[in-house]
């Protein structure tokens, strides 16, 4: 059977349990509200618009993934929400309050490893707690709890260089969550990990999210990752960056990689693929000029 014969459901079709779950999510308070956000840069006297008119609401304990082609402004959006960059227009409200600059109400985990190499794992997690005025004993006890949560209690006295990439990211998650953020912003946190570790980390993150009262804004270019993790998926387009669609993920929870071949998963993935790799692009690629003609018989199919 060719793939064109494969009959997939509409990606908007939701089983009753999934529809009921989205109904419950919509009834929860809005934690993050982004309104008409715009970001532009001056480049050689001209204005380059990164994105324009980006608006979205994220509800409490919702897991939102952001996907979109490279350069559409995903990281810029994450940095502005985190308060690390300034918007050129629009506003961001967290719990109804305008966001201005970084704050402990937002935790951030990046792709690159950002632990302090000269501090032990425990001290890395304690750092923010002590910065916010907690005494050493309290900070130490809380850091241990968070390290336990990410399965690294045994490594509290290790230094970052002694850990694998996945373990470093688990410490980074513990460190971000220790400050009790309202929202955890993750910019391609698993992109540098090998496929197997990435899969484990996705499992860890789902477990942690179940136990902690936190809302997650997760940027990724991996469509499988978005379909596995997200409640809703914000699809961004490029030139200029903008919101193309905000999709309610039809895949039921609890999730597991076994669902990668379920009809809902495939229908969603197909929709995401259409956005990220539109057919026009494929046609254009086929029309690329032949740069070097090979010997007869070298043709590939």
Residue 193 phi/psi, 5-degree rounding, is -90, 155
Task: For residue 71, state whether it binds ligand ADP (rule: CB under 6 A).
Answer: yes
Nearest residue to 202 (alpha-carbon basis) of 224, 229, 174, 232: 229
Candidates 52, 58, 63, 75: give the one binding ligand ADP (CB under 6 A).
75
- Using DSSP, state whether 299 is helix, strand or coil: coil
> Is-contact 215 60, C-beta < 8 A?
yes
Token pair belonging to 145? 């709890």
Q: Please classify residue 65 by burial: count the beta carbons closer than 10 Å to its beta carbon, then call 0-12 exposed, 13-18 middle and 19+ buried.
A: buried
Task: For residue 75, state whether it binds Mg ion (rule: CB under 5 A).
Answer: yes
Stretch that binds ligand ADP, among 63-71, 106-114, 257-265, 275-283 (CB under 6 A): 63-71
Closest contact distance (angstroms) between CB of 144 and ligand ADP is 35
* Nearest to ligand ADP of 41, 116 (CB atom): 41
- List binders of Mg ion among 83-102 (CB under 5 A): none
Beta-carbon contacts of 211 under 8 Å, excluding residues fewer than 6 positions away, are 149
Closest contact distance (angstroms) between CB of 4 and ligand ADP is 31
107 strand-pairing partners: 184
Token pair belonging to 176? 């971000």
- List binders of ligand ADP among 1-60 (CB under 6 A): 41, 50
* Nearest to ligand ADP of 48, 210 (CB atom): 48
Task: For residue 76, state whether it binds ligand ADP (rule: CB under 6 A).
Answer: yes
Report the interface residues with Mg ion, using CB under 5 A.
74-75
Report the interface residues with ligand ADP, using CB under 6 A.
41, 50, 68, 70-76
């Amino acid at each position: 059977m060719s793939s064109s014969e494969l009959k997939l459901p509409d990606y908007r079709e939701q089983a009753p349990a999934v529809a009921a779950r989205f109904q419950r999510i919509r009834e929860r308070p809005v934690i993050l509200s982004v309104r008409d956000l715009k970001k532009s840069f001056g480049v050689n006297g001209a204005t380059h618009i990164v994105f324009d008119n980006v608006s979205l609401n994220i509800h409490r304990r919702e897991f939102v993934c952001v996907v979109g082609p490279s350069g559409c402004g995903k990281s810029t959006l994450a940095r502005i929400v985190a308060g690390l960059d300034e918007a050129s227009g629009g506003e961001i409200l967290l719990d109804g309050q305008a966001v201005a600059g970084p704050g402990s109400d937002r935790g951030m985990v990046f792709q690159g490893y950002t632990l302090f190499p000269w501090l032990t794992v425990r001290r890395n997690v304690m750092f923010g707690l002590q910065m916010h005025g907690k005494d050493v004993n309290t900070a130490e006890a809380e850091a241990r709890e968070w390290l336990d949560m990410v399965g690294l209690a045994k490594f509290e006295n290790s230094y970052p260089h002694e850990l694998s990439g996945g373990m470093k990211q688990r410490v980074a998650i513990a460190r971000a969550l220790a400050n009790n953020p309202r929202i955890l912003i993750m910019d391609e946190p698993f992109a540098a990990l090998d496929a197997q570790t990435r899969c484990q980390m996705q499992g860890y993150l789902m477990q942690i999210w179940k136990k902690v009262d936190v809302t997650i804004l997760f940027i990724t270019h991996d469509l499988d990752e978005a379909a596995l993790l997200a409640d809703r998926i914000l699809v961004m387009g490029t030139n200029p960056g903008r919101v193309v669609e905000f999709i309610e993920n039809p895949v039921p929870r609890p999730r597991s990689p076994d669902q990668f071949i379920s009809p809902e998963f495939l229908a969603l993935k197909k929709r995401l693929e259409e956005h990220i790799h539109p057919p026009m692009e494929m046609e254009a690629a086929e029309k690329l000029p032949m740069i070097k003609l090979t010997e007869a018989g070298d043709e590939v199919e």
